[in-house]
Amino acid sequence: MADHSAPDYELEETLTVDQPEQLRALFEETRRSIIHLLLERAATITELAATMDMPKGTMGHHVGVLAEAGLIRVVRTKKVRAIEAKYYGRTARTFMINFRDRDLGIAPDHFLVTAEAEFVAASASYRDHEDSPIMSTLRYARIPDDRAAEWLFRLGELTQEFASETRGGDTTYAMLAAFYPTEHPHLPDVGETS
């Protein structure tokens, strides 16, 4: 039985995405979907087009943009009736984007906005299928900076574990993790008040 917890090709663990052409390629909805699909396994343009219900020519354009940006590459070829089929895969499991370094022309809440729309749609569907796992929560904790760094690391590990989960079932689930400082008020510690 195939191991579906990892793609069926070799790839780097992380790639820093900081070039304008990489960012333009990555932050387009269709291309982001292609990137996510290729984390499951390598695929041809024909397979991607069929999965996403798009014309092969349009899919070929999007695959070309991603390949030109260095986000995907041909990972193997296979001869199919005198035609060489190209199988594309990601160049890295995780693409790291640092919003602090410079203005990337991308709203920092890009992933939150996308996740919000998906969550709203899933919530509406959940009302009809109460056995579907779905949850959302927002918590605040006043903690020291060193503990905040530990939590950030642990959340990163948890999201990596989730993304590496064995593939199966009929539903693709999403996990959104955000960790950020706030101006949320807090009570003084006991003994700090007069």
Residue 85's pLDDT is what? 92
Residue 126's pLDDT is what? 66
User: CATH 2.40.480.10: does it fit domain 1-100?
Assistant: no
Residue 51's pLDDT is what? 94
Q: State the span(s) of the chain assigned CATH 1.10.10.10.
A: 1-100
pTM summary value: 0.66
Least confident of 19-28, 117-126, 185-194: 185-194
Cβ atoms of 39 and 72 within 8 Å: the answer is no
| H-only helix segments in the chain | 20-26, 29-37, 45-52, 56-68, 110-126, 145-163
CA-closest candidate to residue 68, choices 107, 106, 31, 16: 31
Residue 73's pLDDT is what? 97
Tens digits of residue pLDDT in 55-112? 999 999 999 999 999 999 999 999 888 889 999 999 998 888 765 555 656 666 777 7
pLDDT above 60 for 153? yes
Residue 4's pLDDT is what? 43
What average pLDDT does the structure give for the chain? 82
CA-closest candidate to residue 89, choices 107, 76, 102: 76
